[in-house]
Amino acid sequence: MKIKLPITEKFLWDFYNFLEKVADIHRTISPRGWQEVGNPLLIKFRRNYEKKQTRRSFAKMIAHLKRYGYLKEKSLESQKAFLITPKGHQKILKIKLKTIDKKRRPDRKWQMAIYDIPESKKDIRDEFRNKLKILGHRELQKSIWICPYDVLEETEKIIKDYFLESYVKLFLIEEVDVD
């Protein structure tokens, strides 16, 4: 059994500070422009202001994730920790699916998904349909979706994540001329 370690607010801030230090090092060794050479105090003031704004934005992002139910704060052994909620996992999956590189299949075949998900699982069916759209599937007929992209692994993962193996069938098809 895998144990997922919670993300503490301290960890998030430590990670943020680490990234900030890397950016500072990069700025130190990168070439300087004429503005910085001519007025280094003004540039330093501007960078400090930008750092404060970025820190505020980061804090707002954490508050936003908590407020909308993507992160949940929990006390564990005298320390506060953040846990990613199921809603947060769904959001992560949606973002991941949107950012994958969709390439057309080199064999020019299409992936077809045929499903018959019962009305009692309507919410899951709607969510499955949304995920298919994100992956680039198009509805051919009711409950029949096709996709020219090579997204078989992602589609199979969605089917397994929603426990839809007994309701969904995947096919690899090619167009055939009928004479």
pLDDT tens digit string along 105-155?
Answer: 888 889 999 999 999 999 999 989 988 998 889 999 989 999 999 888 889
With CA atoms as reference, report the closest residue to 71 among 5, 162, 3, 7: 7
Domain boundaries, position 119: 101-173
pLDDT at 1 over 50: no
Type of residue numbered 4: K
CA distance 120 to 109: 33
- Position 145 in a domain: yes
pTM: 0.54
At 21-60, the pLDDT tens digits run 777 776 666 666 666 667 777 777 877 888 888 888 888 8
**CA distances from residue 171 to 35, 145, 147 in whole angstroms, order as listed:** 61, 10, 11
Reply yes or no on whether the pLDDT at 169 is more than 90.
Answer: yes
Report how far residue 108's alpha carbon sits from residue 46's, in angstroms, rounded to the nearest whole number.
Answer: 53
Are residues 76 and 20 both part of a single domain?
yes
Classify residue 18: in a domain, yes or no.
Answer: yes
User: Do 28 and 67 fall into the same domain?
Assistant: yes
Residues 6+ apart with CB under 8 A from 35: 42, 43
Number of CB atoms found within 10 A of residue 36's CB: 15
Residues counted in the chain = 179
> Residue 16's pLDDT is what?
75
Residues 135 and 160 placed together within one structural domain of the fold: yes
Pairing verdict, β 138-141 and 144-147:
antiparallel
> In the predicted model, is pLDDT for residue 5 greater than 70?
no
CA distance 36 to 104: 47
50 belongs to a structural domain: yes
In the chain, DSSP assigns E strands to 7-8, 71-76, 79-84, 110-115, 138-141, 144-147, 168-173
